[in-house]
Structure 1
Amino acid sequence: MFPKVHAGMEMKMDDVRIEGSNKTEGNSWEKHLQIFSQKTKGCPGLVWQTMWKVGHDDPRRVIHSLKVGLSLSLVSLLYLAEPLFNGMGQSAIWAVMTVVVVLEFTAGATLCKGLNRGFGTLLAGSLAFFIEYIANESGKVCRAIFIGAAVFLVGAAATYMRFVPYIKKNYDYGVVIFLLTFNLITVSSYRVDNVLKIAHERFYTIAIGCGVCLLMSLLIFPNWSGEDLHHSTVSKLEGLARSIQACVDEYFNDPNLEETGNKSAEDPIYDGYKAVLDSKSIDETLALHASWEPRHSRNCYRFPWQQYVKLGVVLRHFGYTVVALHGCLQTEIQTPRSVRTLFKDPCIRLAGEVSKVLIELADSTRKRCHCSPEILSDHLHEALHDLNKAINSQPRLFLGSNNNQATNMLAIAAAHAEKHQKDQSNGVSLSSVKTDSSALLKWKTKMAAENRPKEAGERKFLRPQLSKIAITSLEFSEALPFAAFASLLVELVAKLDRVIEEVEELGRIACFKEYNNHDEDIVVTCERPRRNVAHNHLPSHGTD
């Protein structure tokens, strides 16, 4: 009887477990469904906001999307319309493929791809027909050998040509299309009798697709790569100006300076110079596409895309100094606010003058006119002199009152670290503390003579503590971070000369309008003497 009762109880317990597991699984599924519904509930609104933001940031994206849709509809008529399909046949689909591949956002990119595809197809077809003409004069076996050898030689030679830097930069896509078309025609000609007709149809449809793309890019709301490169240069100048001004304002005015290290990528200082640092590949691509574009300006001047690339290089070097200036806000050792206040006015004035020059350069570049002769005003020179006077008036902050005091403080810090080590290891305190530099040497010797396993564990804790005590104990350490900040400001002024020279050279090559106070007297010139601006506003050594 007992086993039966026990078996019945086990069956009931199993039922309870099954029901409990089913309830648990049901609850888990309900939780997953609730989480999924909560995540997908706001999905339509998020998608709509993203789509709206993409179009709002650049309305040309909407226009380009409509142009692509219209182009695909036009070339699809070759396949959909019965009369056109009877004339083109199955090859009409190549026109659709050409539009999808060739039609790019800017006219330069479309011209680059379209002409590469067209010339690559034409050259490949001509060479393939020549190979076929020679192969037809031989027997079937010799023909197969000849075609195989031709495919090998042409494929190897074309692939090797792709490694040439000039060809890889300008004609890589055309070489790829050449290889593809040549192999399709040459290999197909061995089995297909009417390969010549198929090649003609494909060439015509590809030409139609490229023609539609070029017409859409050049005639209907064209987007020029040169204009994008021009506007990108203007925005980089303005972004650097905003970064410098915001960085100096935050350094002197932010009461919570220690929290700046936790700023996100939406920091206005970071946003200002980020586009400059990331612009190398973008500038080179836009410049390459601009080199393919026709002279579309009112006066039909050639677009100086190479000079824009040079200016971009100079702006990136200028931006590296702005990055270092921003790094001064995030250092571990900060100059006290009382010390920074002594140099606040000249630093803010100097940063404001540098930003003003960059804004003036951006404005003149946007308007395509030469810079004002007064772009380097006396205010920048005066701000440099004021900063020089302010620094010279506080020599104790940067040099210290006693040279031996710094050494003694370092030795005291080392002795304190040694005492802390003894207290933690065996509880024995030091009887005396040395106040000379031998304390630091003794501490290092004792650390090297200790047990290796303990050394590895203790150094991770003691070394940072020693450096922290030593650095914060030095008298001149409070002013050192500001000295770095001030030197970077002066470095910005020195690098500003190179930026001005490149902008003036750009105006000379691009035939910018001559600056004049009266708009009606503005003239256009292609030659303009370069003004020597190198270091003509920096204070001389030894002057206040």
Structure 2
Amino acid sequence: MNGKKGSNIEISINIPSSMAKQLDQAGKKSSNGGGGFSFKAWGLKVWEFAKEDSNRVKFSLKVGLAVLLVSLLILFRAPYEVFGTNIIWSILTVAIMFEYTVGATFNRGLNRALGSLLAGILAIGVAQIALSSGHVAEPIIIGISIFIIGTITSFMKLWPSLVPYEYGFRVVLFTYCLIVVSGYRISMGNPMRTAMDRLYSIAIGGFVAVLVNVLVCPIWAGEQLHKELVNSFDSVAASLEECVGKYLEDDGSEHPEFSKTVMDEFPDEPAYRKCRSTLNSSAKLEALAVSAKWEPPHGRFRHFFYPWSEYVKVAAVLRYCAYEVMALHGVLHSEIQAPYNLRITFQSEIREATSQAAELVRSLGQDISSMKRSAINSLLKKVHSSTERLQRAIDVHSYLLTCTCEPPDTTNFSKPLPRLSQTLTNTFSDLPNQLADLDSSNSLETNSSQQLNPSTPQQMESNYHELMRKQSRRLHYSWPPLQVDAFEEEGSAGDFLPRMKALESTAALSLATFTSLLIEFVARLDHLVEAVDELSKLAKF
């Protein structure tokens, strides 16, 4: 403004490489016409959506059929002359009342029927009082009654024990208001006829909705709940095997980006996504259980008062086990990882415990699917025995999980340590042989010089510790990812080794965390077996 030229300001924005790649791909798609609407792509999505669950197509066709049947009452002159414009309420009833499952339709229909009946009775009573009070007081009484009914119904539907009947209170409110107001303006003093015609129309619509939903390709909520629970068992078992398999096979060569880990984008782990959906299915299963209670005996569920609530309890215990699988998955994708050589040292014990636990979970799901009881106790004993072997292996070789490499037993050095069943690397495969050689050489030296040199056991112990330290230094730790020079630059040389030992011990303890979570999963299977056994007794498998 004072004759001075404005200074040029340069702003530089650094875009991460991963985001730059995504922007480039998005630009290529938009340049190739990917941003436009494609009928072929839309048709494929619709086809996949319908193919995923054929009941969706059946439900849509049934709703169309029910609405068509009710609309015939308007298209033909005879029914329309009887009910007049109130017959439209039957169409509204079908559209509102028709639900995905038979049980939900019965539940919605009962709420609709009771709400409409109560609203009709209240409307007739208030209308008679208003008519007898004169033309001046009539609109005042109707307005006050609408305010009172709206306040009471809105408050009652928030009551915890009345939440399942929330739709019924809404029906009472809008049915009462429509009957009273329209009766005052349209019927001109004849609310009784208006209320009765609309109740008849609602009854016709409800009857058509229930009849079509039950007789034409019925979708039972009980069957849906049964299938969902069985699929949840399979998802948890598959996710457990997938997680443990990747943990033992991952040598650290490929790690996902941090953004993908945070956003839970694991395209190579389909079982994990199914297990995650199992954790989020509690509301769906509870809704199906509530709907199933309204259904009559059908299919394999042929006796009254079927224990649908037990399905919800079993699903809750199964989610209790699935939380451990998700925790195992968290260790699998954590930043601190145990070295690959250390993980495969306990490979056979971990795989055995995992396979036995997954087999038990699948067997429980199969028992529910077939509605038959099998010998679960024998499988449970196998799971316990395999888990005990894993615990024993971790306890005996716990020195591998610490930086000090203390031996498990320092009182008897001539007795070799129990070996793990299988190792796949030179780092740990030659350890038992070296220990045996050390024990044999030390035993010979002890026999020859036991009387001359009384300090031989102390020397043997020091030799043992030295060998353990040499073996531990040969391990390749995957964390921390910093170079040795970085640690030397930060601190003195005397402080470097203790810090590295602490970091190595932290990385090795990641394996202890993984195995403890696996053992906890097995411990929770006892509760799952009890829940399934209780369900089988009440459902009379």
TM-score category by the smaller chain?
0.7 to 0.9
Match of 2:294 in 1: 292
Distance 1:142 1:501 in 2: 66
Q: What whole-Å deviation, never above 9, does each CA across 1:39-59 have from its counterpart, x for those lacking one? A: 447x22212211221221111
Q: What whole-Å deviation, never above 9, does each CA across 1:308-333 have from its counterpart, x for those lacking one? A: 11112111111111000011111112
Letter in 2 for 1:363: Q
Match of 2:171 among 141, 157, 177: 177
1:241 aligns with 2:243: no
Alpha-carbon offset, residue 470 of structure 1? 4.5
Match of 1:167 in 2: 162
Match of 1:131 among 126, 129, 145: 126
Distance 1:399 1:418 in 2: 21
Other structure's SS at 2:84 match:
helix
Contact 1:353-1:380 within 8 A present in 2 as well: yes
Other structure's SS at 1:387 match:
helix
Distance 1:51 1:370 in 2: 40
Task: Give matches, 1:492-511, under 5 Å.
Answer: 492-511=521-540
Distance 1:472 1:260 in 2: 27
Contact 1:335-1:482 within 8 A present in 2 as well: yes
| Structure 2 stretches lacking a partner, 5+ long | 1-26, 407-468, 470-481
Match of 1:13 in 2: none
The structure-2 alpha-carbon separation of the partners of 1:471 and 1:509, relative to structure 1 and needing over 3 Å to count, comes to: farther
Alpha-carbon offset, residue 159 of structure 1? 1.6
Match of 1:280 in 2: 282
Contact 1:257-1:329 within 8 A present in 2 as well: no
State the TM-score, normalizing by the size of structure 1.
0.73
Other structure's SS at 2:158 match:
coil
Letter in 2 for 1:186: V
Contact 1:92-1:205 within 8 A present in 2 as well: yes
The structure-2 alpha-carbon separation of the partners of 1:34 and 1:182, relative to structure 1 and needing over 3 Å to count, comes to: closer
The structure-2 alpha-carbon separation of the partners of 1:130 and 1:245, relative to structure 1 and needing over 3 Å to count, comes to: same
1:96 aligns with 2:91: yes
User: How many residue pairs get matched?
Assistant: 432
The structure-2 alpha-carbon separation of the partners of 1:418 and 1:380, relative to structure 1 and needing over 3 Å to count, comes to: closer
Match of 2:416 in 1: none
Contact 1:260-1:329 within 8 A present in 2 as well: no
Letter in 2 for 1:507: S
Q: Kindly report the root-mean-square deviation, in angstroms, between the aligned alpha carbons of the 2 structures.
A: 3.0
Other structure's SS at 1:105 match:
coil
The structure-2 alpha-carbon separation of the partners of 1:471 and 1:179, relative to structure 1 and needing over 3 Å to count, comes to: farther
Alpha-carbon offset, residue 492 of structure 1? 0.6
Match of 1:381 in 2: 384
Alpha-carbon offset, residue 177 of structure 1? 0.7
1:369 aligns with 2:372: yes
Alpha-carbon offset, residue 436 of structure 1? 10
Task: Give matches, 1:154-303, under 5 Å.
Answer: 154-168=149-163, 170-191=164-185, 192-256=188-252, 258-260=254-256, 262=260, 264-266=265-267, 267-297=269-299, 299-303=302-306
Distance 1:236 1:161 in 2: 36
Distance 1:147 1:284 in 2: 40
State the TM-score, normalizing by the size of structure 2.
0.74
1:47 aligns with 2:42: yes
Match of 1:148 in 2: 143
Distance 1:260 1:362 in 2: 33
Alpha-carbon offset, residue 293 of structure 1? 1.7
Alpha-carbon offset, residue 501 of structure 1? 0.7
Other structure's SS at 1:474 match:
helix
Contact 1:106-1:224 within 8 A present in 2 as well: yes
The structure-2 alpha-carbon separation of the partners of 1:32 and 1:381, relative to structure 1 and needing over 3 Å to count, comes to: closer
Letter in 2 for 1:48: G
The structure-2 alpha-carbon separation of the partners of 1:247 and 1:380, relative to structure 1 and needing over 3 Å to count, comes to: same
Instruction: Kindly report structure 1 stretches of 4+ aligned residues shifted beyond 6 Å.
Output: 31-34, 415-419
Q: What whole-Å deviation, never above 9, does each CA across 1:140-176 have from its counterpart, x for those lacking one? A: 22333332332222222222111111211x2100100
Q: What whole-Å deviation, never above 9, does each CA across 1:113-138 have from its counterpart, x for those lacking one? A: 12211211111001110111222222
Contact 1:78-1:92 within 8 A present in 2 as well: yes
Match of 1:488 in 2: 517
| Structure 1 stretches lacking a partner, 5+ long | 1-30, 406-412, 422-429, 438-468, 513-544
Distance 2:29 2:362 in 1: 54
The structure-2 alpha-carbon separation of the partners of 1:276 and 1:375, relative to structure 1 and needing over 3 Å to count, comes to: farther
Match of 1:349 in 2: 352
Contact 1:353-1:379 within 8 A present in 2 as well: yes
Q: What whole-Å deviation, never above 9, does each CA across 1:444-466 have from its counterpart, x for those lacking one? A: xxxxxxxxxxxxxxxxxxxxxxx
Match of 2:66 in 1: 71
Letter in 2 for 1:56: K
The structure-2 alpha-carbon separation of the partners of 1:110 and 1:470, relative to structure 1 and needing over 3 Å to count, comes to: farther
Contact 2:363-2:376 within 8 A present in 1 as well: no
Contact 1:243-1:269 within 8 A present in 2 as well: yes
1:337 aligns with 2:331: no
Distance 2:370 2:487 in 1: 66
Distance 1:472 1:91 in 2: 84
Letter in 2 for 1:182: Y
Alpha-carbon offset, residue 289 of structure 1? 1.2
Q: Which moved more, 1:130-139 or 1:74-83?
A: 130-139
Letter in 2 for 1:67: K
Contact 1:471-1:477 within 8 A present in 2 as well: no
Distance 1:480 1:249 in 2: 19
Higher relative contact order (CA 8 A, sep 6+): 2
Q: Which moved more, 1:383-392 or 1:188-197?
A: 188-197
Distance 1:396 1:225 in 2: 54
Alpha-carbon offset, residue 37 of structure 1? 5.0
Letter in 2 for 1:134: I
Letter in 1 for 2:394: I
Contact 2:131-2:138 within 8 A present in 1 as well: yes
Q: Which moved more, 1:254-263 or 1:285-294?
A: 254-263
Alpha-carbon offset, residue 508 of structure 1? 1.1
Contact 2:402-2:509 within 8 A present in 1 as well: no
Contact 1:342-1:390 within 8 A present in 2 as well: no
Q: Which moved more, 1:324-333 or 1:296-305?
A: 296-305
Distance 1:282 1:167 in 2: 19
Distance 2:364 2:351 in 1: 20
Distance 2:306 2:109 in 1: 21
Other structure's SS at 1:140 match:
coil
Alpha-carbon offset, residue 491 of structure 1? 0.3
Q: What whole-Å deviation, never above 9, does each CA across 1:228-283 have from its counterpart, x for those lacking one? A: 11111100011000001111111112345642564734422422311211111111
Match of 2:106 among 99, 104, 111: 111
Match of 2:508 in 1: 479
Q: Which moved more, 1:50-59 or 1:233-242?
A: 50-59
Distance 1:292 1:36 in 2: 53
The structure-2 alpha-carbon separation of the partners of 1:162 and 1:480, relative to structure 1 and needing over 3 Å to count, comes to: same
Match of 1:452 in 2: none
Distance 2:56 2:351 in 1: 40
Other structure's SS at 2:136 match:
helix
Alpha-carbon offset, residue 80 of structure 1? 1.0
